[in-house]
Structure 1
Amino acid sequence: MQTANTSPVTVDFMRRFTASEQFDKVFREGMGLVEETADYLDGPGRKDARLLDRHGAVAYAAESMRLTTRLMQLASWLLLQRAIGAGEMNPEEVQHERRRITLGEIGHGNPVSGAEQLPTALLDIIDRSLSLHQRILKFDAMLGLQARSENTGNLSPVSSQIDRIAAAFGNRS
């Protein structure tokens, strides 16, 4: 879609996304969950872990490791998106950092013997981290489609629709 001056309307989805209330909410939630997890594992979690038998202690160690790995990857993704949206990184830095983040392999792991003993507080944090992980996977997929369409010079159907809406409202951002 083109405007009256015949230049194509381009919508910078990344900047809009990272400046949105939705991204801000997810960012705050993710960083808050990282902090809450650290507080739990360094405080009440240590006491909870001492109450477990050998199988429960192994399950606690395995699940807390999965949890911290998941949260560090999610936090890295959130911080990267914020930096990209703010224009703080060049394309080479972005690609380098994207290769270091692995979102797909940090979901549910295989069941561990003794998992039925895990403290409720830990299970709650794990569930919330998995929920956040699923939302971030969806955002990452959307942003990946945007980036691929920009790299190939082709507009994705979503980009095309966003451009049409922006043009209809006279938005030239």
Structure 2
Amino acid sequence: MSEPTVDSGPEPTGRSRSAEVRDFARSELFERTFQEGMELVEEAAAWLDGDGRRESKLLSRAAALAYASESMKLTTRLMQVASWLLVQRAVREGDMTPEAACDTRYRLADRAVAAEPSHPDLPIGLIELTVRAERLHDRVLYLDRRMYRDETPEPEANPVLSQLGMLEAAFRT
């Protein structure tokens, strides 16, 4: 007996969203992304607890405040990515159905466009971890939007073809 699928509208490939989610969770791309994400979470935690803690004690009051803010953004971003990756792993391991993984509460939120670091004296280690976390978030967000899109977007009209169509129509009279 096959597993029921949720009708999610037309798919460009004719495949169901559930099949796409299940296939991704079983893919090498997921495995690599999962590994990278979990390693970055561990690396950031170790840095913040070790070198980052030591370096933050040497900062001015303003820089220390910026450090606290940036480290909080970093950990929040990494936890969002890790949560998304863990949902995909739950699908792979059969602990969650692909249909359940489609729930909006498991979607990754857009991130604000990154601004320059909030203080020029922030430790380079924090900045490097933040840049890597933002890149990973952007890749995972792309995967999330591609796999869990609400509907297939209409293809954009080609302005050249539409102009040609209007010209053909005008000269047919």
TM-score greater than 0.5 by the shorter chain: yes
Instruction: Give the 3-state SS of the residue equivalent to 1:116 in structure 2.
Output: coil
Q: Distance in 2 between matches of 1:18 and 1:25?
A: 11
Q: Does 1:99 align with 2:135?
A: no
Which structure carries more relative contact order (alpha carbon 8 Å, separation 6+)? 1
Give the residue type in structure 1 aligned to 2:125: A
Match for residue 126 of structure 2?
A: 122
Alignment equivalent of 2:90, drawn from 77, 83, 87? 83
Distance change (3 Å), C-alpha of 1:14 and 1:92? closer
Q: What is the 5 A alignment of 1:1-173? A: 10=15, 12-90=19-97, 93-94=100-101, 98-99=104-105, 102-105=108-111, 108=114, 112=118, 115-145=119-149, 148=151
User: How far has the Cα of 1:25 moved from its partner?
Assistant: 0.8
Distance change (3 Å), C-alpha of 1:101 and 1:15? closer
Hey, which bits of structure 1, 4+ residues long, moved more than 4 A?
90-93
Give the residue type in structure 2 aligned to 1:48: E
User: How far has the Cα of 1:142 moved from its partner?
Assistant: 0.6
Q: Distance in 2 between matches of 1:143 and 1:16?
A: 10
Larger Rg: 2
Distance change (3 Å), C-alpha of 1:144 and 1:84? same
Match for residue 167 of structure 2?
A: none
How many residues align structurally?
Answer: 139
Contact 1:74–1:103, Cα closer than 8 Å, also in 2: no
Distance change (3 Å), C-alpha of 1:144 and 1:108? same
Give the residue type in structure 2 aligned to 1:33: L
Contact 1:49–1:60, Cα closer than 8 Å, also in 2: yes
Q: Distance in 1 between matches of 2:113 and 2:49?
A: 23
Instruction: Give the 3-state SS of the residue equivalent to 1:117 in structure 2.
Output: coil
Kindly, what percent of the aligned residue pairs are identical?
43
What is the TM-score of this pair, normalised by structure 1? 0.69
User: How far has the Cα of 1:15 moved from its partner?
Assistant: 2.0
Q: Which structure features the higher share of helix residues?
A: 1
Distance change (3 Å), C-alpha of 1:33 and 1:68? same
Contact 2:67–2:122, Cα closer than 8 Å, also in 1: yes
Q: Which runs of 5+ in 1 are unaligned?
A: 1-8, 150-155, 158-173
Q: Which runs of 5+ in 2 are unaligned?
A: 1-13, 156-173
RMSD across aligned C-alpha pairs, in angstroms? 2.7
What is the TM-score of this pair, normalised by structure 2? 0.69
